[in-house]
Amino acid sequence: MTTTRAVLAARVLLALLLLAGSARAQHAPPPAAPHFTAVRAGRLIDPATGSVATDQIILIKDRKFEAIGPKVAIPPGAEVIDLSGLTVLPGLVDTHNHLAITYKVDPERNNYYVTVITDSTPLRAIQAASNGIQMLASGFTIVRDMGNNGNYADTALRQAIEEGWLPGPQIINAGIIIGGMGGQFWPTPEMGIEKHVVYPEYLDADTPDEIVKAVRQNMLYGAKVIKICADCKPWGYTVDEVKLVVAEAAKGGLKVEAHAQTVEGARRAIEGGVWSIAHDLGLDDANHKLMAKKGTFRAGTETPLSLTDHQTAAGFKRDVASLRNAWENKVNITFSTDADYYVPGKTRGEVAIEFIETWKAAGIPARDILRAMTTTGYRCAQTESTRGPIKPGLAADLVAVPGNPLETIDALRDVQFVMKDGVVFKQKGVMTPAPFFHGGPVNGLVR
Ligand SMILES: [Zn+2]
């Protein structure tokens, strides 16, 4: 085909496409009338200020909050939900969970090296869907999923929830954890080189080129935050290498979380400009002061002693002291669990909420624990202007409990009501997920 003819053919094709488009537009159905829901809240908590307002009306238009106040007019035909006997608050955030891995006593003796061999990525994606539903039932409307997802089961979960196939929290997912050779594992050569048994749990990135490529791979396959191992090996990442990760991630608009397990590794990550630090092993007083100065978020993952198979007395003492020190230093402390295991008798959401025990042991006031679980969590998850606070224009997510978590944080153990995107997910303590299930991507395709 000559150039002229090719251009002509392209123009004809374009004209036909435009015609087809305008014909479709003429026959598009009229927009559906907005659906209004009015929630009568006996008490409404604003965790940002630690205040409670009584007898409030929360008006929701379709998926978003429309108006909040004592005298909001309820439009005729609006669905009215009576929570006048409950305390309403915004949804909770776990800034560090692993929904697509669940290790257990049987058969792997809680050794997740084994889980990644026994469980396929598709099986782990289905487990993640179930774990996400369990988190939502406990009031967690936002979960940062920080790696260990096989081959991007976390992206699949986020897409499935956002497209409208099933209920679940808003997922901010990390894709595959980036580290120096081996990641968090110490593979044998047979595992690491010949059989690739430890992969895809970790992306090896030892040189600047490999670091750039690893960050780009995660962004290409749907990560919304980048997770690195700062010091999982003695060679770790230097401050300059951390800066390279941060700069490359920024090209895709993403922030970086560093797993740190040594004081020196955490310091390099903080100085390198990461958004958040995972785990408290390297977080001493000096690093907390540096984090407070730079605004670094802290996802300390402080396991309570009550989860007996996953914490020791010495570890708990250290976690409590570190958390207390972070609070005293006014660090941006978030609620984080590192939950990646099965505790018989508990859902993933019940495992997560159990972590309030460590916060109570650290002597942190209930209002500050709640702020970590909400306001600071929204900022860490970067949802504060789209989802989290109960404010007009934001996604209509809310939770209700009988007690007052500003006085007794344990009130959060009894979540009776959950709404996500304006749709009721749990009422009178019972999950009612039917309206969330669809046979197609009702919200459109999501990358
Ligand atoms: Zn973790």
pLDDT in tens, 119-134: 999 999 999 999 999 9
**Mean pLDDT of the 270-286 span:** 98
How much is the pLDDT for 239? 98
Q: How far apart are the first and last CA of the chain?
A: 36
Residue scoring higher pLDDT (273 or 117): 273
Decide if 140 contacts 406 (C-beta within 8 A).
no
How much is the pLDDT for 182? 87
How much is the pLDDT for 373? 98
Q: How far is the CA of 174 from the centre of ligand 1 (A)?
A: 11
Decide if 95 contacts 377 (C-beta within 8 A).
yes
**Mean pLDDT of the 366-376 span:** 98
SS (H, E, C) 270-296: HHHCCCEEECCCCCCHHHHHHHHHHCC
Decide if 204 contacts 181 (C-beta within 8 A).
yes
**Mean pLDDT of the 88-113 span:** 95
Q: How far is the CA of 100 from the centre of ligand 1 (A)?
A: 11
Q: How far is the CA of 148 from the centre of ligand 1 (A)?
A: 8
Confidence class of residue 29 from pLDDT cuts 50, 70 and 90?
low
Q: What percent of the chain has pLDDT over 90?
A: 86
Q: How far is the CA of 270 from the centre of ligand 1 (A)?
A: 18
pLDDT over 80 at 10, yes or no: no
pLDDT over 60 at 324, yes or no: yes
In 10 A of CB 411, how many CB atoms? 18
How much is the pLDDT for 372? 98
Q: How far is the CA of 301 from the centre of ligand 1 (A)?
A: 8
Q: How far is the CA of 337 from the centre of ligand 1 (A)?
A: 8
pLDDT over 60 at 25, yes or no: no
Contacts of 111 (CB under 8 A, 6+ apart): 103
pLDDT over 70 at 84, yes or no: yes
Confidence class of residue 173 from pLDDT cuts 50, 70 and 90?
very high
Contacts of 65 (CB under 8 A, 6+ apart): 58, 59, 390, 391, 392, 393, 394, 395, 396
Confidence class of residue 17 from pLDDT cuts 50, 70 and 90?
very low
pLDDT in tens, 388-404: 999 999 999 999 999 99
pLDDT over 70 at 289, yes or no: yes
Residue type, 40: R
Q: Is residue 52 exposed (0-12), middle (13-18) or buried (19+ Cβ within 10 Å)?
A: middle
Q: How far is the CA of 164 from the centre of ligand 1 (A)?
A: 27
Half-sphere exposure of residue 106: CA atoms within 13 angstroms, side-chain side? 1
How much is the pLDDT for 198? 79
How far is the C-alpha of 410 from the C-alpha of 404, rounded, in Å? 9
In this structure, of 3-17, 31-45, 354-368, the range with the lowest mean pLDDT score is 3-17
How much is the pLDDT for 19? 46
How much is the pLDDT for 5? 53
How much is the pLDDT for 113? 87
Strand partners, 276: 257, 297
Q: How far is the CA of 112 from the centre of ligand 1 (A)?
A: 12
pLDDT in tens, 205-237: 999 999 999 999 999 999 999 999 999 999 899
Q: How far is the CA of 171 from the centre of ligand 1 (A)?
A: 15
Average predicted confidence (pLDDT) for the chain:
93
pLDDT in tens, 40-77: 999 999 999 999 999 999 999 999 999 999 999 999 99
Q: How far is the CA of 422 from the centre of ligand 1 (A)?
A: 31
Confidence class of residue 187 from pLDDT cuts 50, 70 and 90?
confident
Q: How far is the CA of 11 from the centre of ligand 1 (A)?
A: 53
How much is the pLDDT for 192? 82
**Mean pLDDT of the 253-273 span:** 98
pLDDT over 50 at 23, yes or no: no
Q: Is residue 196 exposed (0-12), middle (13-18) or buried (19+ Cβ within 10 Å)?
A: exposed
Q: How far is the CA of 92 from the centre of ligand 1 (A)?
A: 18
Q: How far is the CA of 97 from the centre of ligand 1 (A)?
A: 6
Confidence class of residue 91 from pLDDT cuts 50, 70 and 90?
very high
Confidence class of residue 11 from pLDDT cuts 50, 70 and 90?
low
Q: How far is the CA of 135 from the centre of ligand 1 (A)?
A: 16
Q: Is the peptide bond before 107 cis (omega within 30 degrees of 0)?
A: yes
Q: What percent of the chain has pLDDT over 70?
A: 93
Confidence class of residue 20 from pLDDT cuts 50, 70 and 90?
very low
Q: How far is the CA of 342 from the centre of ligand 1 (A)?
A: 15
Q: How far is the CA of 400 from the centre of ligand 1 (A)?
A: 28
